[in-house]
């Protein structure tokens, strides 16, 4: 990866529409290995990249269902191991379990959503495998392309025409936090 | 490049300005900050001493007596759990409703939630005669082979409050990742850089990261919304599941949830007004925000007041002698003053918010919310103490008076909460940087009209 990153071309943009236009042009030129940096989640960028549905929702669903099942199974099992009648209620008191199950649905669902995010977005990242600029968390957008050999000039032209404020070539990887 | 202004934050110019303004909060604090922190730590110390004396000398140091086994501690527990609720309302419920004014305040409200639950969680433990065995509450495998009683509302509380603390803290820290990354990129202080590097998990703000992040945030909001409704319902069932007169009613769950949101929103305003002043955040917390929050305070306040009246009506209509007696006793018995503080602060004073002038007058709003905070503490006091002091058999009736230990611990809980909040203000970004940018118009190369012709889908964020 580091060898490829060394050949990366990074366009830095001040304007959102310049960035989206560049992405669309790069895509129509057949360049698919595009990484986009932005200071906030932008639907425009997402549309331009034609990104698919995030798999996080599967994690939420599975976590929630596991929580619900645990919320019924665990009190049932625990009450059966020492069957002690309280308040004249059945040992397995489903209405009371509903509350435990409700809370555990949310607890397990939330925790597995977080796990889903970390797995899908490949966090935590000790190293940034591509270039990063501190202004990407402030007010600028970045487009990183890893062009196949011989197409570097074409990428540079598309970025310049797209309105890049700055173009950096032969970008190196850096470690997050040591910028 | 043209530069449009946002309707919600007209005085915020650019993305860079948001970063600078928010990260400036983390700079070296002024003297007033340290003075405030010192006061808070002194009060906390007094509270800690009071608790220590109770641990060493026993629960008799509190004013709790038979039959009033629940007093100031449980009152304060319910109070803080209630305070927590509005943070989740603002961060999750208003997020799902796409309320455009929540962006600048939700982080502070969320922090308030986490610290309020952290404070609330102490009280059931303080309330225990032997606090060192608090872990008996948890269902953990043990050699005695016994498990907690899952039919008990007190155990439901353990699950509800435990889940609430975990989920709200997760939501808080996860939602902050992009902002911590911004703080990481904007600081030169070594310890801050280290801390933010760890807490940002290597966030770079790639489109892929944002795609998963936005979805995860949405699902967490969707999970937190039913959670916020369930937690105070479960807390209310601590009371409503028993047969004590004044407690055993089905209205308790919605009544408590409305009261929680009412008190929590009031607390958000109480906290944000001084922060706005001290840190010069007038451009971020605009009168529009206060107006919107005040309207919510008014609505929830009316629900609470309606619930008060319904309780009285039901006591009369049910023809239940103990129920009737308890409500007559509330307004005219030994605790009449507490009941009238509650009715005045929660029912009558918030009616001033019908006036737009009052809603946008920040000192007036601040004063009203302090009354609401006081009123809501007394509401729980009235519910708990008057009912227990005046149960079925007259020979059992006995009044309760909080001892100095209880009062010091209650005061200490406010200091504990304030300490966390003050530390938060100096360590973590108190206003969401990324979400504010979502409601600011994006910087565009071409004029907006030109963009509309060629693209259509690019433009200012919807709704501004």
pLDDT tens, B192-243? 988 998 898 888 888 889 999 999 999 999 999 999 999 999 999 999 999 9
Per-residue pLDDT reduced to its tens digit, B268-315: 999 999 888 888 888 888 888 899 999 999 999 999 999 999 999 999
For residue B207, list chain A residues with Cβ-Cβ distance below 8 A.
35-38, 45-46, 49, 51
Confirm whether A178 is domain-assigned.
Answer: no
Are residues A128 and B219, on separate chains, in Cβ contact within 8 Å? Answer: no
Confirm whether A96 is domain-assigned.
Answer: yes
If phi > 0 it is left, if psi is from -120 to 50 it is alpha, else beta; for residue A177 that is: left
Confirm whether A83 is domain-assigned.
Answer: yes
Judged by average pLDDT, the poorest of A125-134, B125-134, B372-381 is: A125-134
Same domain for A63 and A13? no
At B7 the pLDDT is 62
- Top residue of B185, B196, B450 to mutate, by most chain A CBs within 10 Å, is B185
- For B95-122, what is the mean pLDDT? 88
At B456 the pLDDT is 38
Distance of CA A106 to the CA centre of its chain: 21
Are residues A102 and B201, on separate chains, in Cβ contact within 8 Å? Answer: no
Are residues B150 and A127, on separate chains, in Cβ contact within 8 Å? Answer: no
Same domain for A164 and A135? yes
Confirm whether B166 is domain-assigned.
Answer: yes
Query: How many CB pairs below 8 Å do chains A and B form together?
Result: 226
Same domain for A110 and A94? yes
Residue B174 is nearest to which of A46, A81, A114, comparing CB atoms?
A114
pLDDT above 90 covers what percent of chain B?
A: 60
- For A108-112, what is the mean pLDDT? 96
Are residues A176 and B156, on separate chains, in Cβ contact within 8 Å? Answer: no
- For B405-411, what is the mean pLDDT? 96
Query: How far apart (Å, rounded) are the C-alpha atoms in residues B284 and B286?
Result: 6
Same domain for A116 and A60? yes
Same domain for A17 and A33? yes
Confirm whether A176 is domain-assigned.
Answer: no
Are residues A110 and B171, on separate chains, in Cβ contact within 8 Å? Answer: yes
Confirm whether B159 is domain-assigned.
Answer: yes
Confirm whether A152 is domain-assigned.
Answer: yes
Quote the domain boundaries for residue A68. 56-120
Full-model pTM: 0.89
Same domain for A113 and A61? yes
DSSP state of A89: -
Q: For chain A, what is the mean pLDDT?
A: 84
Are B258 and B304 in contact, with CB atoms under 8 Å apart? yes
Closest CA to B225 of B106, B343, B321, B89: B89
Confirm whether B33 is domain-assigned.
Answer: no
Same domain for A158 and A103? no
Quote the domain boundaries for residue B252. 50-141+153-423
Domain stops at, among A105, A120, A135:
A120
Same domain for A145 and A108? no
Confirm whether B35 is domain-assigned.
Answer: no
Confirm whether B24 is domain-assigned.
Answer: no
Same domain for A105 and A87? yes
- The token pair that represents B260 in the structure block: 């929680």
CATH number of A18's domain: 3.30.70
CA angle at B240 for the pair B239 and B246, rounded to the nearest 5°: 85
3-class DSSP assignment, residue B157: helix
Same domain for A104 and A75? yes
Structural domains in chain A (count): 2
Confirm whether A162 is domain-assigned.
Answer: yes
pLDDT band at B8 (very low <50, low <70, confident <90, very high): low
Confirm whether B76 is domain-assigned.
Answer: yes
Are B7 and B464 in contact, with CB atoms under 8 Å apart? yes
Confirm whether A39 is domain-assigned.
Answer: yes
Confirm whether B428 is domain-assigned.
Answer: no
Are residues A82 and B147, on separate chains, in Cβ contact within 8 Å? Answer: yes
pLDDT above 70 covers what percent of chain A?
A: 88
Confirm whether B133 is domain-assigned.
Answer: yes
Are residues A38 and B178, on separate chains, in Cβ contact within 8 Å? Answer: no
Host H or E run for residue B329: helix B321-332
Same domain for A86 and A30? no
B99: Cβ–Cβ under 8 A, 6 or more apart, which residues? Answer: B292
CATH number of B126's domain: 1.20.1630.10
For residue B14, list chain A residues with Cβ-Cβ distance below 8 A.
139
Helix, strand, coil content of chain A in percent (nearest 5): 50, 15, 35
Are A45 and A36 in contact, with CB atoms under 8 Å apart? yes
Confirm whether A153 is domain-assigned.
Answer: yes
Structural domains in chain B (count): 1
- For B21-47, what is the mean pLDDT? 89
Residue A176 is nearest to which of B202, B207, B210, comparing CB atoms?
B202
pLDDT band at B336 (very low <50, low <70, confident <90, very high): very high
Model ipTM? Answer: 0.89
Host H or E run for residue B363: helix B362-381
Whether A2 has a pLDDT exceeding 60, the answer reads no
Judged by average pLDDT, the poorest of B115-119, B388-392, B413-417, B437-441 is: B437-441
Residue A121 is nearest to which of B160, B212, B224, comparing CB atoms?
B212
């Amino acid at each position: 990866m580091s060898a490829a990153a060394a050949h990366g071309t990074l366009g830095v943009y001040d304007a959102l529409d310049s960035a989206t236009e560049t992405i669309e042009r790069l895509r129509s030129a057949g360049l698919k290995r595009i990484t986009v940096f932005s200071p906030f989640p932008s639907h425009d960028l997402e549309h331009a990249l034609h990104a698919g549905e995030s798999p996080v929702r599967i994690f939420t669903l599975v976590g929630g269902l596991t929580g619900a099942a645990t919320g019924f199974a665990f009190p049932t099992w625990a009450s059966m191991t020492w069957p002690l009648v309280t308040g004249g209620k059945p040992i397995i008191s489903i209405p009371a379990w509903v509350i435990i199950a409700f809370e555990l649905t949310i607890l397990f669902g939330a925790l597995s959503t977080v796990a889903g995010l970390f797995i899908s977005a490949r966090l935590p990242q000790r190293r940034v495998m591509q270039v990063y600029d501190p202004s990407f968390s402030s007010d600028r957008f970045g487009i990183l392309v890893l062009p196949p050999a011989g197409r570097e000039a074409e990428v540079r032209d598309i970025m310049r025409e797209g309105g890049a404020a700055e173009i950096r070539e032969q970008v190196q990887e850096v470690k997050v936090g040591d910028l | 490049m043209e530069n449009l202004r946002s309707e919600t934050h007209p005085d915020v110019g650019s993305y860079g300005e948001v970063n600078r303004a928010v990260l400036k909060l983390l700079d070296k604090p002024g003297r007033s900050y340290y003075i405030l922190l010192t006061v808070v730590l002194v009060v906390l110390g007094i509270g800690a001493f009071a608790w220590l004396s109770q641990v060493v000398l026993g629960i008799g140091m509190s004013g709790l007596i038979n039959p009033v086994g629940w007093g100031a501690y449980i009152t304060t527990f319910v109070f803080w759990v209630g305070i927590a609720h509005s943070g989740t309302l603002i961060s999750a419920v208003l997020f799902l409703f796409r309320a455009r004014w929540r962006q600048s305040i939700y982080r502070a409200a969320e922090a308030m939630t986490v610290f309020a639950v952290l404070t609330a969680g102490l009280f059931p433990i303080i309330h225990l005669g032997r606090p060192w065995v608090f872990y008996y509450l948890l269902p953990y495998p043990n050699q005695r082979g016994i498990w907690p009683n899952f039919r008990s509302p007190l155990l439901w509380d353990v699950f509800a409050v435990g889940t609430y603390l975990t989920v709200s803290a997760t939501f808080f820290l996860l939602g902050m990742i992009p902002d911590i990354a911004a703080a990481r990129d904007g600081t030169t202080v070594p310890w801050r850089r280290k801390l933010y590097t760890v807490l940002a998990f290597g966030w770079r703000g790639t489109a892929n990261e944002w795609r998963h992040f936005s979805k995860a945030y949405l699902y967490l909001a969707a999970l937190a919304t039913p959670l916020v409704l369930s937690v105070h319902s479960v807390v209310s069932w601590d009371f409503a599941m028993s047969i004590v007169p004044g407690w055993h009613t089905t209205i308790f769950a919605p009544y408590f949830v409305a009261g929680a949101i009412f008190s929590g929103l009031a607390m958000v305003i109480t906290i944000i007004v001084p922060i706005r002043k001290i840190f010069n955040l007038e451009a971020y917390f605009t009168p529009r925000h206060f107006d919107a929050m005040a309207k919510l305070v008014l609505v929830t306040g009316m629900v609470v007041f309606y619930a008060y009246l319904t309780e009285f009506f039901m006591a009369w209509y049910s023809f239940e002698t103990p129920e009737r007696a308890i409500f007559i006793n509330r307004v005219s018995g030994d605790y009449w003053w507490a009941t009238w503080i509650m009715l005045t602060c929660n029912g009558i004073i918030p009616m001033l918010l019908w006036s737009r002038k009052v809603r946008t007058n920040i000192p007036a709003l601040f004063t009203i919310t302090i009354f609401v905070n006081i009123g809501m503490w007394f509401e729980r006091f009235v519910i708990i103490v008057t009912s227990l002091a005046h149960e079925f058999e007259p020979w059992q009736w006995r009044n309760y008076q909080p001892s100095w230990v209880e009062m010091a611990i209650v005061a200490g809980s406010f200091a504990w909460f304030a300490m966390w909040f003050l530390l938060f203000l100096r360590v973590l970004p108190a206003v969401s940087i990324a979400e504010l940018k979502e409601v600011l118009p994006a910087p565009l190369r071409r004029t907006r009209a030109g963009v509309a012709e060629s693209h259509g889908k690019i433009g200012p964020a919807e709704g501004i």
